[in-house]
Homo-oligomer: A and B are copies of this chain.
Amino acid sequence: MTSRTRGDKAEAILEGARQQFMANGYAATSMDQVAVAAGVSKATVYSHFQDKASLFASLIQKMAATKLGVFFDLTQLHRQTQNPTDSLTQVACSMLDTACTDEQSSAFMRLIVAESQRFPELATTYVENVAKPVISQLTQFLDSHPQLHLSDPEATARILIGSLVYYIILEEILGGKQTLHMERDRLVATLVNGIVQSAS
């Protein structure tokens, strides 16, 4: 039993840290809060992680390594031979639904942006492990689609992702849903139309 519980405390600490850092940010989260949320004493937290910054870095690195799949899974779409409009619409709606439903994905991005000055190397970790693969996969998808021959697929991928990310920031993170709402389908339709038309 005890041999099977090795590392469970570390996992519980990381989970408690995730809850608190996501909710309050780095500076406003205390090690006492993390310890309580994890169900351990503060000394146990310090026995597994050198200090607060080290715990935060471990958490971000773990999330950056595992949260890619939540953001994006295009492998299923590569094999399909739909028309470009339907494929792109499906990709865009899938990304928006994930970000709007899963509270964690937008909270994670908010945390990375918030702490990008204090921990620039963690912002780089996010770019390398999340943003870069997403752009890369989407670029390959655009490039390999039979009916889409875009002059610059990587630039188009950035436009597509940027439009969706800004929609999430405005509607979900900054609360624009209340005063500045636009229907999801209006944005996606206009976005997809611009990409398809520019290729023909």
A residues lining the B interface (CB < 8 Å): 23-28, 110, 112-118, 120, 123-124, 126-128, 131-132, 135, 150-152, 154-156, 158-159, 161-167, 169-170, 173-176, 178-180, 182, 186-187, 189-191, 193-195, 197-198
The CA-CA distance from A114 to B118 in the complex, in Å, is 12
Given known contacts A118-B28, A155-B190, A194-B156, A166 and B162 CB-to-CB distance under 8 angstroms: yes
A154 to chain B, nearest CB (A): 7
Count the copies: 2
Q: Does more than half of chain A's interface fall in helix, strand or loop, or is it mixed?
A: helix
Closest to A173 in B: B116
A56 to chain B, nearest CB (A): 13
A29 to chain B, nearest CB (A): 9
